[in-house]
Amino acid sequence: MVGPMSPPSFAVTVDLVVLTIRERALQCLVVKRGSEPFAGRWALPGGFVETDEDLGDAARRELQEETAIGTGLHLEQLGSYGTPGRDPRGPTVTVAYLALAGSLDDPVAGSDAAGASWRGVDAGSAESLAFDHASILADGVDRARSKLEYTPLGAQLCPAEFTVAQLRAVYEVVWGQTLDPRNFHRKVTQTPGFLSPTGRRTTADGGRPAQLYRAGDAGRLHPPITRAHE
Amino acid sequence: MVGPMSPPSFAVTVDLVVLTIRERALQCLVVKRGSEPFAGRWALPGGFVETDEDLGDAARRELQEETAIGTGLHLEQLGSYGTPGRDPRGPTVTVAYLALAGSLDDPVAGSDAAGASWRGVDAGSAESLAFDHASILADGVDRARSKLEYTPLGAQLCPAEFTVAQLRAVYEVVWGQTLDPRNFHRKVTQTPGFLSPTGRRTTADGGRPAQLYRAGDAGRLHPPITRAHE
DNA sequence: GTAATAGTGTCTTTCAGACAATATCGA
DNA sequence: TCGATATTGTCTGAAAGACACTATTAC
């Protein structure tokens, strides 16, 4: 029997998968790294957790520092990644968070980072991300796809006020399939708590003016919105 | 601008929520701690991650060392917990894993720990767990409840071969609600890939002999099994 | 036979998918 | 007027909930 040993020492980081819809595509917030390792490469926003800081608070702080986005964003823990060697600086575990941003809060500023931008989430353009961030991003997109099925979080990817058609576009882009406008309309308007009507209308899309809604207060969709699963 | 600082140092642990059904109740694997902090208190099995070790591997190793259970258990990452002060030894982040154990592999041995046992998961009996393990356990139970809806993992909580009635008992215990035997039978036997018949029968429960099944190869249930949500 | 559990069938309701028809705008 | 989009409605098929009924064992 040996005496008590001090436990192995790790650095802990948070990384954020922040998704939004732009140009009718699902896009992800990335920052250009200003320092080694991977200086000049694109990566998910994130950084070291302080020892007196909760994980979620660290995620919110890093998001604020690096991209000045998303006060009041819905943040959800996605998973943790600790494969040995994933960070050349030494043993590092990262806790990934997922956030969905409405299409309006797009202006992005860098402060800690050399730059920040949105980019598509398709496999090709994600390949070049630093660390294991391509894999984390893929997990985030998967999670977002699932969340849209059984939660009303699709509304988080819309502006504060939106039409049913805009919400449908979110689903179509995230799921990569077209949905029948009439059945979708029936589904979302008749699910209690999904949408709350503002009474206002917009005619921005041409055609008959559409009702404007904001996100309702439902926590979970019953029954879920179904999609063709592979 | 300051120079590069060494990042804050954390210990990283894994903790396991291992659930099974015993005595018609959902039970959880706990170990009695053999050393400080919380010596003599019950806790979830778990321990420090080595720096050259993947998180999932560490979870499997700790489970093996502390309880000699579960070679070939389904292991799934549950979430990470890093509230400052959660471990009196210093800054510690724990990555929790969820596992579902069939009712047969119950004998439990301690080696690192002073003892190991199953205990009910109800709020009352979980209160006394060390660290923030009561909260982790609650999250694990929540996750298990959800997984039963849209995956065939309920079969993982049964022996290798089981009857539809045994499977139904699993759902009833985990969800805390009774299900109609006839509708449940129709649902699980007609969902492709959920169950695979062995051809054998058992009469252990009295009455007409029941078909024995083993878990099928479906990854996801379409449509899901629904439960009354609150 | 009875008691007990397994399994089938049937009716009703709810809801998704397909799609016709109508409504209300701009040009 | 037309072209575009929004919204309502209708029909059909899949599947859940309720529950009668039959099947097969032990006693």
Domains of chain B and CATH, by start: 11-148 (3.90.79.10), 151-215 (1.10.10.10)
Query: Among candidates A110, A138, A146, A143, which has minimal Cα distance to A122?
Result: A138
Read off the pLDDT of each residue in A90-107 and give the average, rounded to a whole number: 86
Q: How confident is the model at residue B128 (pLDDT cuts 50, 70, 90)?
A: confident
DSSP annotation of B4 = P
| Chain B residue numbers touching A229 (CB-CB < 8 A) | 220, 222
A35 contacts in chain B (CB < 8 Å): 4
Q: Flag whether pLDDT at A104 surpasses 70.
A: no
Contact across the interface for A12 and B8, Cβ inside 8 Å? yes
Q: What percent of chain B has pLDDT over 70?
A: 93
Q: Using CA atoms, how far apart are residues B190 and A209, in angstroms rounded to an integer?
A: 46
pLDDT, tens digit, 9 for 90 and up, residues A12-45: 999 999 999 998 999 999 999 988 899 999 999 9
State yes or no: pLDDT of B107 exceeds 60: no
Does pLDDT of B131 surpass 50?
Answer: yes
Residue of A180, A146, A168, A148 whose CA lies nearest to A213: A168
Whether the predicted pLDDT of A2 surpasses 60: no
* DSSP state letters, A185-210: HHHHHHSTTTEEEEEEEE-TTSSS-E
Q: What is the pLDDT of residues B163-192, one digit of tens each?
A: 999 999 999 999 999 999 999 999 999 999
Rounded distance in angstroms from the CA atom of residue B213 to the C1' atom of nucleotide C2: 30
Q: What is the pTM of this model?
A: 0.93
Burial class of B94 by CB neighbour count within 10 A (0 to 12, 13 to 18, 19+): buried
Closest CB from B52, B91, B226 relative to A84: B52
Task: Flag if B93 and A91 touch (Cβ within 8 Å).
Answer: no
| Pair B25, B58: CB distance under 8 Å | no
Which of A50, A75, A80, A98 is the best residue to mutate to test the B interface, defined by the most B CB atoms within 10 Å of its own CB?
Answer: A80
- Rounded to an integer, the average pLDDT of B203-212 is 92
Instruction: Using alpha carbons, list the distances in angstroms from residue B144 to A97, A104, A108, B43, B171.
Output: 21, 36, 39, 19, 10
Residue B158 has what DSSP assignment?
S
Contact B17, B78 (CB under 8 A): yes
The CA–C1' separation of A190 and D8, in angstroms, is 13
Residue A224, preceding bond cis, omega within 30 degrees? Answer: no
Q: Which residue gives the smallest C-alpha to C1' distance to D3?
A: A207
CA-to-C1' distance for A187 and D11, Å?
17
In this prediction, residue B115 carries a pLDDT of 83
B197-223 burial, b if ≥16 CB within 10 A, otherwise e? eeeeeeeeeeeeebbbbebbebeebee
For residues B196-209, average pLDDT: 93
Query: Two tokens at A132?
Result: 């294991």
A206 CA – D2 C1', rounded, Å: 14
Q: Which nucleotide is nearest to B227 (CA to C1')?
A: D16
Which residues of chain A have a CB within 8 Å of the CB of B50? 8
The partner residue sitting opposite B80, judged by closest CB among A4, A55, A226, is A55
Provide, in whole angstroms, the distance separating residue A103's CA from nucleotide D1's C1'.
Answer: 37
Separation in Å, CA B173 to CA A59, B80, B193, B227: 37, 27, 23, 12
The residue among B10, B48, B89, B229 with the most chain A CBs within 10 A of its CB, best to mutate, is B10
Cβ of B51 within 8 Å of Cβ of A9? The answer is yes
If you measure CA to C1', which residue is closest to nucleotide D7? Answer: A182
B206 CB neighbours strand D below 7 A:
yes
Work out how many CB contacts closer than 8 A connect A with B: 98
Distance CA B132, CA A26 (A): 37
